[in-house]
Amino acid sequence: MVGSLARKIEDWLGKQLSDRGARGFVVGLSGGIDSAVTAALCKNVCPEGTLGVIMPCYSNPQDAEHAELLARTMQIEYKKIVLDDVFLSMVKLLTGEEYDPGKQDLAVANIKPRLRMTTLYFYAAKRCSLVVGTSNRSELTVGYFTKYGDGGADILPIANLVKKEVKELAKHLGVPQPIIEKPPSAGLWMGQNDEKEMGVTYEELDNYILTGQADERVKRIVDELARRSMHKKQLPAMPPITF
């Protein structure tokens, strides 16, 4: 079952390359399970044309370690681009203040994934490649991604898989166990935890997505997150052709 799913996604990835006239894939390696699965699928389809980019930006050092572990395990070509100084310059320029790592300022934190998106598109342009997004169905449902950050991509191969399905696929693909077992985190600040920030567990979220069943607390939280993040999944609003 899982093997069949992997093959279907890989066939789709191959068709994307062919249809778009691209030579390969560029994937941001965060050290998390979603990027690991995405990169592994891309490597299976295009062994010589898949590039992983590791982009520390005032991040947990373990994230970069896990990203490198994944790249070595899967034999994926990778580059490590440290964005700390660029990020500090942007924060200083925009806020007039020095960056405070202990302050949970979402407007500032979202600069990180947007710098990473810029980096990925640079390499994609140089290599005539597609930027491959790593968002899964659970995250997309509640808008748990940064608009024009990790949400900025050409294709989203695991967009139809909820978190537990991504985990099953990770095991099938041979993703290292420390990556599979680590608590999911967007990594926007130290100690960030996906489930705590969303207010629901991935198990609760996945079950609601797949069955439509959940207690009222989960339904209320998920429905509200989905409503508030609808703009992230739509094209920019445009006026009608005629007024």
How many domains does one find in the chain? 1
Query: Amino acid letter at 199?
Result: G
- Helix crossing, 111-127 with 84-95: angle to 10°? 130
pTM of the model: 0.94
145-178 pLDDT, tens digit per residue, is 999 999 999 999 999 999 999 999 999 999 999 9
Q: Is residue 237 within 8 Å of residue 216, measured between CB atoms? A: no
User: Would 17 be classed as within a structural domain?
Assistant: yes
Q: What is the DSSP string of 95-157?
A: HSS---TT---HHHHTHHHHHHHHHHHHHHHHHTEEEEP---HHHHHHT-S-TTTTT--SB-T
Residue 60, domain member (yes or no): yes
The per-residue pLDDT of the chain, averaged, comes to 95
User: Would the pLDDT of 112 be above 90?
Assistant: yes
What integer pLDDT is reported at residue 243 of this predicted model? 65
8 lies in some domain:
yes
Sign of CA dihedral 92, 96, 102, 105: negative
- CATH at residue 119: 3.40.50.620
Whether residue 152 lies inside any domain: the answer is yes
Task: In whole angstroms, give the CA distance from residue 194 to residue 184.
Answer: 6
- Nearest Cα to Cα of residue 87 among 43, 46, 119: 119
Domain that holds residue 47: 2-194
Quick one: pLDDT at residue 133?
Answer: 98
Give the whole-number percent of the chain exceeding pLDDT 70: 100
20 within domain boundaries: yes
Q: Is residue 209 part of a domain?
A: no
User: Quick check: helix, strand or coil at residue 75?
Assistant: coil
**Has residue 182 been placed in a domain?**
yes
Per residue in 51-95, pLDDT tens?
999 999 999 999 999 999 999 999 999 999 999 999 999 999 999
> In this model, does residue 1 exceed pLDDT 90?
no
Give pLDDT, residue 101.
87
Does residue 233 sit within a domain? no
